Chain A
Amino acid sequence: MSREDLLQKTILLCATVGSGTLVVGIFLLMLHLGWPLLISGQFFSLLLQEWRPADNLYGIYPMLLGSTVISLLALLIGLPISLGTAFATTVVAPPWLRSASLALIRYMAGIPTVVYGFVAVFFLVPFMREQITGGSGLNILSAALVLAILIAPTMVIFFVNGLSGVAKTYSLAVDALGGTPVQKLLYLLLPQAWPALTAGTVMGLGRAMGDTLISLMVAGNSIAVPGAVTDSARTLTAHIALVIAADFAGMEFMSIFSCGIVLYLFTVLFVSVIRLTSKTRND
């Protein structure tokens, strides 16, 4: 590399190092603000305590549980639907439907989260209230249903890329042996594409857990520990939004940084899983 390119290289390097530093910086910032809790040894007890500010209890256990239950339930509903759609889009459906379906999936990925939430509030929640669960209709099940739809396009796109990324020569071999498209899918594509399937699933879980709006609008935001899927619940993300809106200082405020730290660590975990599974494919 010649000396004449040094200016350009320096500018590019600055942009890269700057953005990289910010990513780490966010974590350090939250760690710094949550530090008093960490060194007093309260961080881990916070994860197991309830949230009762009146009794000086600022635990985030209900939110941790809420986030986990809602996102896992959303995955449980969304995963089979996404897998089925991905199967249809890669092999099962007739060709004209495949490209139409790909375009629809992209459009779906573009629908704003807040629009999903809005429709859910005026469409799904009344239905839930009157026909299924009773009560307010704002509960874990409603939120999980909406989230399942919300995370579906992310997963479908990953699955479709994985399934259609299997080498053409293998695919031709199965065709030449007289295999049907479904047989090709079951005996060739699925076993070959499992890293992409894992990655897509984890991506979906990550999106469900990271979403703020749906749980804020549809899950009911109750701070009690949920006991059933028809109970109202609050997620870590919604908790951050709600507490900030109410208060700027003190223990309450400090405790939302523990929510932030937990969410950050979850993201790191998800990204590591995705990176590790896609690495095994390359070897």
Chain B
Amino acid sequence: MVWNGCWRVALCFDNDMASASKIITRSLAFSYDKKTLFESIDLELPEHCIAAVTGPSGAGKSTFLTVFNRLWQEFGGGNVSGTVLLRFADGLVDIYREHLPASELRRRVGMVFQKPNPLPMSIHKNVAFPLRLAGHRKRGEMDHLVEKALRKAHLFEEVKDRLRADARALSGGQQQRLCIARALMLEPEILLLDEPTSSLDARSCGKIEELLDDLKQSCTVLMVSHYQDQVRRVADLVFEMTDQTLIRSA
């Protein structure tokens, strides 16, 4: 990749102190319509951990997540200041200073939303969709990759007989695991989860929590949740968003 070569040199003084960190922010702030949503956030997250952000609703937790895949840019409006560094397998990247296309970034930083959002197509096509976007066309290989992603999301056994059925026919919990499988399709190193269980019943919620523990093996997970007990169960690091900033909770 061309876009990280020069920055690795410029940032080498950072490398020692943050050698194990996957996600680093320096005085990160976000404002919308001249109104500050949050500011002076300094964060360092190690690899293979689950970090959870809690806080009152409307505090800007969801927007905070979208800072890491630049999805807020799709809303039109808003302004980020400060530095966001992500460490990918091939080096540390400043996602706001380098000319990194948003689509490229979002292929490496997956995201799952509060409400399951399967696209109006079959289960198979939904999971294969990100690869198609990235330009892959080989069919035989695709089936294998789809199965792998569905297995990672603990969904394959439930849907293996109806991969060609409309994804919207699945139950809410299955839909959400489908969305996780879809996000895992491109093997992201970082996964953003925006209250992934808040629209689900207790049983589906439990299944997703189980799954989160497995995900830690391959990704660094940054999630938003407002269930204190869930956070205590699954998260390694807990932060709280209050007074327009992020504080480490005990």
Contacts and interface: CB of A to CB of B under 8 A. Distances in A.
Interface string A1-14: 01000000000000
B120 interface: no
A2 B3 CA distance: 14
Contacts of A2: 101-103
B133 to A, nearest CB: 12
A98 to B, nearest CB: 30
Interface in A1-37: 2
A2 B103 CA distance: 9
Interface in B78-107: 101-103
A234 B49 CA distance: 81
A2 B105 CA distance: 12
Contacts of B101: 2
Please classify how large the interface on chain B is, using the bins under 10, 10 to 19, 20 to 34, 35 or more. under 10
A2 B101 CA distance: 6
Contacts of B102: 2
A168 to B, nearest CB: 21
Interface residues of A, number: 1
A2 B102 CA distance: 8
B71 to A, nearest CB: 15
B179 to A, nearest CB: 25
B107 to A, nearest CB: 13
Nearest to B101: A2
Nearest to B104: A2
A3 to B, nearest CB: 8
B149 to A, nearest CB: 26
A88 to B, nearest CB: 37
Interface string A179-210: 00000000000000000000000000000000
A187 B123 CA distance: 50
Nearest to A1: B102
A9 to B, nearest CB: 15
A167 to B, nearest CB: 22
A267 B16 CA distance: 69
A8 to B, nearest CB: 14
A161 B240 CA distance: 45
A2 B106 CA distance: 13
B205 to A, nearest CB: 30
A6 to B, nearest CB: 13
A170 to B, nearest CB: 24
Nearest to A3: B101
A2 B99 CA distance: 10
A149 B103 CA distance: 54
A177 to B, nearest CB: 31
Interface in B99-153: 101-103
Interface in A119-159: none
A102 to B, nearest CB: 27
B51 to A, nearest CB: 30
B132 to A, nearest CB: 16
Nearest to B103: A2
Nearest to B73: A1
A237 B103 CA distance: 53
A1 to B, nearest CB: 9
B240 to A, nearest CB: 33
B76 to A, nearest CB: 12
B223 to A, nearest CB: 29
B126 to A, nearest CB: 24
Nearest to A4: B101
A2 B104 CA distance: 10
Interface string B214-225: 000000000000
A2 B70 CA distance: 14
Contacts of B103: 2
B249 to A, nearest CB: 37
B105 to A, nearest CB: 11
B77 to A, nearest CB: 16
A41 to B, nearest CB: 49
A7 to B, nearest CB: 16
A72 B101 CA distance: 58
A86 B103 CA distance: 48
B16 to A, nearest CB: 34
B208 to A, nearest CB: 33
B39 to A, nearest CB: 28
B87 to A, nearest CB: 24
3 contacts: A2-B101, A2-B102, A2-B103
Give me the 3 closest cross-chain CB pairs, A-B, nearest first.
Answer: A2-B101, A2-B103, A2-B102
